[in-house]
């Protein structure tokens, strides 16, 4: 595969993007924070189905981390990321500096309600989605892609971005891509490198618990009882559970009585030692 061209300024990205458009190519964007794994690569392949030209952005976005979170120690592996992207069909990498994205005096943010205010990630990371939406909004305006792809791994983020793109008439197609998992079922994540060997073994229980919960929901067990039981299972094993929640898969609101199992999603977030893990699956 030809190596992707590396663009580190917004201007260089725009020049590249305009040339692709003049050549009649649809551009697909894959926003990431780097430390790439096969889950990210699957997004590149998914967007490639819809676009003749693909740009992957690599930017660890400071404004989506709270002061006590892991911004400074978030894994960074730029050379390895380039190698991985060189093995797939990725045309360009956009890797701006923090000062390129947030020059002095930067004073704008995207405010959200709806799926960004449902008591899931937003409850535990109150400034997170404003940071995500602001940077994704910037990336979409910078790259002006026809299509952009986001993983279901961050299910609430995907819902928030779909909503934002519709609300702000951003005119870009948003693709959701399924979660890639390790052989034992653990969702791939850049943060999995934080896990000790012992924690890594235990981490798979999150996925197993979600699978059991989905089965129970399909069997018609009351949803609150399922959530409680799943939380109990995880807590007993030493997880510090932020939530296990069964929600409407579009709005992420509490399901209405009699909601069809196929309209539901089960989402969980829990800490194992110092590492916060999130995962979710469909019911049915
Ligand atoms: P991140 O670099 O963690 O911000 O993730 C960048 C994109 O990759 C987001 O759209 C994530 O939802 C997606 N992603 C992360 N992990 C996975 C995975 N295991 N499978 C599929 N997509 C993923």
CATH number at residue 89: 3.40.50.620
What 3-state class would DSSP assign to 4? coil
Burial class for 136, CB neighbours closer than 10 Å (0-12, 13-18, 19+)? buried
Q: How far is the CA of 44 from the centre of ligand 1 (A)?
A: 11
Domain boundary pick from 177, 212, 236: 177
Question: Are residues 157 and 61 part of one domain?
Answer: yes
Torsion of CA 66, 72, 74, 78, to 10 degrees: 130
Domain region containing 263:
190-282
Mean pLDDT of 103-109: 98
Give φ, ψ of 62 to 5 degrees. Answer: -60, -30
40 is catalytic: yes
Judgement on whether residues 167 and 267 belong to the same structural domain of the protein: no
* Number of structural domains the chain divides into: 2
**Residue 145: which of 128, 157, 161 has the closest Cα?**
161
Residue 184 lies in a domain: no
How far away, in angstroms, is 187 Cα from ligand 1 center? Answer: 10
Average pLDDT for residues 103-111, to the nearest whole number? 98
User: Quick check: is 47 in a domain?
Assistant: yes
Does the structure show a pLDDT above 90 at 258?
Answer: no
**Considering the domain boundaries, does residue 185 fall inside one?**
no
Q: Could you read off the pLDDT of 167-189 as tens digits, one per residue?
A: 999 999 999 999 999 999 999 99
Residue 99 within any structural domain of the chain: yes
Atom of ligand 1 nearest to the CA of 149: 10
Domain of residue 254, CATH code: 3.30.1300.10
Residue from 54, 154, 174 to probe ligand 1 pocket by mutation (most atoms less than 8 Å from CB): 154
Q: Among residues 177, 201, 226, which one ends one of the domains?
A: 177
Tell me, what's the pLDDT at 49?
Answer: 97
Rounded Cα distance between 90 and 4, Å, is 6
Q: Which among 50, 84, 39, 68 has a CA at the least distance from the CA of 126?
A: 68
Ligand 1 contacts (CB < 6 A) are 32-33, 39-40, 42-43, 150-151, 153-154, 177, 179-180, 187-190
pLDDT at 2: 86
CA of 155 to the centre of ligand 1 (A): 10
155: nearest Cα among 265, 283, 230, 242: 265
Q: Are residues 151 and 82 in the same domain?
A: yes
Alpha-helical (H) ranges within the chain are: 10-22, 38-48, 78-86, 98-101, 121-124, 128-143, 155-167, 197-203, 205-218, 223-236
- Give the chain's mean pLDDT: 97
> What's the pTM?
0.97
Q: What is the DSSP letter of 59?
A: -
Judge whether residue 66 has pLDDT over 90.
yes
Ligand 1 atom closest to 33 (CA)? 2
Report helix, strand and coil shares of the chain as percent, to nearest 5. Answer: 45, 20, 35
Residues 41-57 pLDDT 10s: 999 999 999 999 999 99
Residue ending a domain, among 177, 206, 240, is 177
């Amino acid at each position: 595969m030809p190596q992707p061209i590396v663009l580190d300024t917004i201007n260089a990205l725009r020049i590249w993007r305009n040339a692709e458009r003049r050549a009649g190519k649809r551009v697909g964007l894959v926003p990431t924070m780097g430390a790439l794994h096969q889950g990210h690569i699957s997004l590149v392949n998914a967007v490639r189905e819809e676009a003749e030209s693909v740009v992957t952005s690599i930017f660890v976005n400071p404004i989506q981390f709270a002061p006590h979170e892991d911004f400074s120690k978030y894994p960074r592996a730029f050379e390895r990321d380039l190698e991985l992207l060189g093995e797939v069909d990725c045309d360009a990498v956009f890797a701006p500096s923090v000062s390129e994205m947030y020059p002095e005096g930067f004073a704008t943010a995207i405010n959200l309600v709806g799926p960004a205010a449902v008591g899931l990630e937003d409850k535990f990371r109150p400034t997170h989605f404003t940071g995500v939406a602001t940077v994704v909004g910037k990336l979409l305006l910078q790259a002006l892609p026809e299509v952009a792809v986001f993983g279901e791994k961050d299910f609430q983020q995907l819902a928030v971005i779909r909503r934002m793109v519709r609300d702000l008439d951003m005119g870009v197609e948003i693709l959701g891509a399924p979660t890639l998992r390790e052989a034992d079922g653990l969702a791939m994540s850049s943060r999995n490198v934080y896990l000790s060997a012992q924690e890594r073994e235990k981490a798979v229980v999150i996925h197993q618990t979600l699978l059991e919960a989905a089965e129970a929901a399909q069997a018609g067990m009351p949803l609150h009882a399922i959530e409680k039981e799943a939380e109990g299972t995880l807590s007993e094993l030493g997880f510090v559970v932020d939530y296990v929640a069964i929600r409407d898969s579009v709005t992420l609101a509490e399901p209405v009585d009699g909601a069809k199992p196929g309209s539901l999603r089960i989402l969980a977030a829990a800490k194992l030692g110092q590492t916060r893990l999130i995962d979710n699956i469909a019911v049915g």
